[in-house]
Structure 1
Amino acid sequence: MAKRKVDFENRGFQDRWESQYMFADVKGKAVCLLCGDSVSVMKEYNIRRHYETKHHDKYKHLDTTQRLQKVEELKRSLVSQQAMFTKAKSQSEAAVKASFIVAAEVAKSARPFSEGEFVKNCMIKVCDAVCPEKRQAFLNVSLSRNTVADRVPHLATNLQQQLVRKGNDFIAYSLAVDESTDTSDTAQLSIFIRGVDSSLCVTEELLGLHSMHGTTTGKDIFEEVSRCVDKMGLPWDKLVGLTTDGVPAMCGQKSGLVGRIREKMQEENVTGELTAYHCIIHQESLCGKALKMEHVMSIIKKTVNFIRAKDLKLGILGAEFTWRFADFEAQKSRFELLSNPFTADVESTRSNLQMELIELQCSDTLKAKYESVCAAEFPRFIPNTMPQMRSQAAQTLSMFGSTYLCEQLFSLMKINKTSHRTRLTDEHLHSILRISSFQSLTPDIDELVSKMRHQASGSDQ
């Protein structure tokens, strides 16, 4: 015989059970108003047995009116208790949320985790002066060193999870990769991602920061980058650009990062071509060194006069620029198409774009829109009926011109991991830098508080 399914029997609470057995319906459960117990199955037999076994003798003398008055009194008491528990729960969640907010600010300010206790002491003193009746609420906010140290990785993980969700919508992305050492001589590899979704909105965030305790060869760097890309679930066929600092381990065509990524893309049967750039800021610096004129760089006027007086130097500088920026020159037509598609030469454009480009240039509506917005915003208004143009725009928008974000991250790293804070773990350092360097994402603190509440309720069961 099949086991009966209680959920399918449509058993509902009967109003008469309130006065007859002193039970109430609380969130779909029959709860005794006298002792607070609930019955496992909502049916009259179970409720009657509970009442007759535990409470009948004490309340059998009450008439109907007295029983109704007693039920109303017990229901008001139950509502009051529930309100008290809800308020306590709300205050507890507010205290947890406040601790996350302060932990994020401590991380962004590059201060030690122990600063949370200093912040709390200041909060208490301000509270005593402004709103002393709220003192207990401030005392409930935990900002000990251990609490702040626990909150920071949760905040960083939340940011990473948001980035993973955004990454699922990328139709093109590029990477900027650079490497530097911290105060303990540990090599830190930073990887930034610039992705474009189907709406042609750009997301630029820290993809990963990895401590490299061994060697830093092209193979080592590639393995870390590959692991980071795979961990986020990014498809290799969407990768269109790679910007590095130009050292051999990065830009080597065979054993360097660039060569190994191109080899990886071939293994994945990717038909698109990877565009590799040497950071434009590094290029400019190297061009300046080629002039060998450091003794006059301090004064701009003398520099200009020196160049004008020495035509030979202009030749050297021109040759250096031509060689250094050959990668950008090769992409000139792509950049021109993005900056002003209405003046682009159709015949010099790739064949798969020509028909759509002609249609775009003939549209007065799109031309008016282009004149009303900036060039970087216009691609979002290209209609979906021009998929090749939108794809081309997405690929160009996703490219990094420099590793500036990596350099900026290393500056933050040196501020955080000083000679007085060398015991900072890699996990906490990476979490701090992710929180400090986010561009468009912000930690979803409400989600973190909700998760902690569910974890706490799960552990109580």
Structure 2
Amino acid sequence: MDKFLNSSRKRDNPEAISNIEKKQKIRKYDDSYLNFGFTSTVVANVEHPQCVVYLKVMAVESMLPNKMKRHLETVHGNLVNKPRDYFVSKLKAMAQQKHIFTKQATIPSKALLSSYKVAWRIAKSKKPHIIAENLILPAAMDMVSIMIGDAAAKQLQNVPLSDNTISRRIQDMAEDINDQLIEKLIGNDFAIQLDEATDSHNDAHLICYVRFVVNDVFHEDLLFCKTIVGETKAADLFNILDSFIIENNIVWDRCFGVCTDGARSMAGCYNGLQAL
């Protein structure tokens, strides 16, 4: 009788139930997930899905085929019909990039910081990445050689400034800025402003600005700019927005305002994005 009573107590024990739920939530990576453009990586001894296109590490809850497929369709819509071999090549490229990052760990800290500083200025001035290696480095070496000496000028050659390196530096900084913004949004009320725009190549983009309060101070920033693949109906635009919100663990309930332009797909009271 005690055995049955003990087993009933275990079932009623919230701690035991919580442990069971945690075990149920842990999902293992399957090789078939690469068809959706996902591999896996271990963070804090827990396996997470990782996109092989943007190299973004997703939440553990995203280790589901339907969520991975949704990410592929909404974020990388132009890659939906790509064969598995395409994602295999992306996976190999990602492995090579990790090898490059490992090598970069041996770069002196001052040279690494200098590389990021140059990349930041190039991004800010909207110049081509190749300008760092072809113009900035030779000019800097000339100035240092004249003002200080040849020995000091040669040290500048330790600063990695290839166009691929500058591109990676800019991507690193962009991801870090985005992570900081998301961290501020989580747990705070916010409002968003949406706009649909077309660039010089006639590609449509959904631009989202966010406004929120931190320490009684209003902040406004660009949340994202996503390419619209396919049609620009209200449902398509909402899927792009909703996918970003879910992937970054932002709570919809904290959104207290949505502002759009006057386009029918945006502002329609029955079928527009605001209505959805």
Smaller-chain TM-score bracket? 0.5 to 0.7
Q: 1:234 aligns with which of 247, 250, 268?
A: 250
Distance across 1 between alignment mates of 2:229 and 2:244: 17
Structure 1 residue ranges without an equivalent (≥5): 1-88, 261-461
Structure 1 residue 201, shift from structure 2 partner? 2.3
Correspondence for 2:169: 151
Structure 1 residue 254, shift from structure 2 partner? 1.6
Correspondence for 2:241: 225
More helix by share: 1
CA contact (8 A) 1:178 1:245 kept: yes
Structure 2 residue ranges without an equivalent (≥5): 1-104
Structure 1 residue 90, shift from structure 2 partner? 9.4
CA contact (8 A) 1:91 1:137 kept: no
Alignment of 1:233-312 (within 5 A): 233-260=249-276
**Count of matched residue pairs:** 170
Structure 1 residue 213, shift from structure 2 partner? 2.3
Q: 1:126 aligns with which of 143, 148, 154?
A: 143
Distance across 2 between alignment mates of 1:136 and 1:243: 54
Correspondence for 1:100: 116
Query: What letter corresponds to residue 209 of structure 1 in structure 2?
Result: C
Correspondence for 1:136: 154
Larger RCO: 1 or 2 (CA < 8 Å, sep 6+): 1
% identity of equivalent residues: 26
* CA 90–219 in structure 1, closer or farther in 2 if over 3 Å, else same: closer
Correspondence for 1:300: none
Distance across 1 between alignment mates of 2:216 and 2:262: 29
TM-score (norm 2): 0.59
Q: 1:185 aligns with which of 178, 192, 202?
A: 202
Distance across 2 between alignment mates of 1:136 and 1:168: 47
1:94-144 deviations in Å (ceiling 9; x for gaps): 111111111111111111111112111111111111122312321111111
CA contact (8 A) 1:96 1:141 kept: yes
CA contact (8 A) 2:142 2:153 kept: no
Distance across 1 between alignment mates of 2:246 and 2:210: 13
1:394-421 deviations in Å (ceiling 9; x for gaps): xxxxxxxxxxxxxxxxxxxxxxxxxxxx
Correspondence for 1:168: 186
**SS, match of residue 207 in structure 2:** strand
CA contact (8 A) 1:181 1:187 kept: yes
CA contact (8 A) 1:176 1:192 kept: yes
Runs of 4+ displaced beyond 3 Å: none
Alignment of 1:30-49 (within 5 A): none
1:145-197 deviations in Å (ceiling 9; x for gaps): 11111111111001011112111241x10001101111221111111111113
Provide the alpha-carbon RMSD of the alignment.
Answer: 1.7
**SS, match of residue 257 in structure 1:** coil
More strand by share: 2
Correspondence for 1:455: none
Structure 1 residue 211, shift from structure 2 partner? 0.6
Query: What letter corresponds to residue 158 of structure 2 in structure 1?
Result: N
Distance across 2 between alignment mates of 1:196 and 1:147: 36
Distance across 2 between alignment mates of 1:231 and 1:195: 19
Structure 1 residue 202, shift from structure 2 partner? 2.2
CA contact (8 A) 1:98 1:141 kept: yes
TM-score (norm 1): 0.36
Query: What letter corresponds to residue 206 of structure 2 in structure 1?
Result: L
CA contact (8 A) 1:167 1:232 kept: no
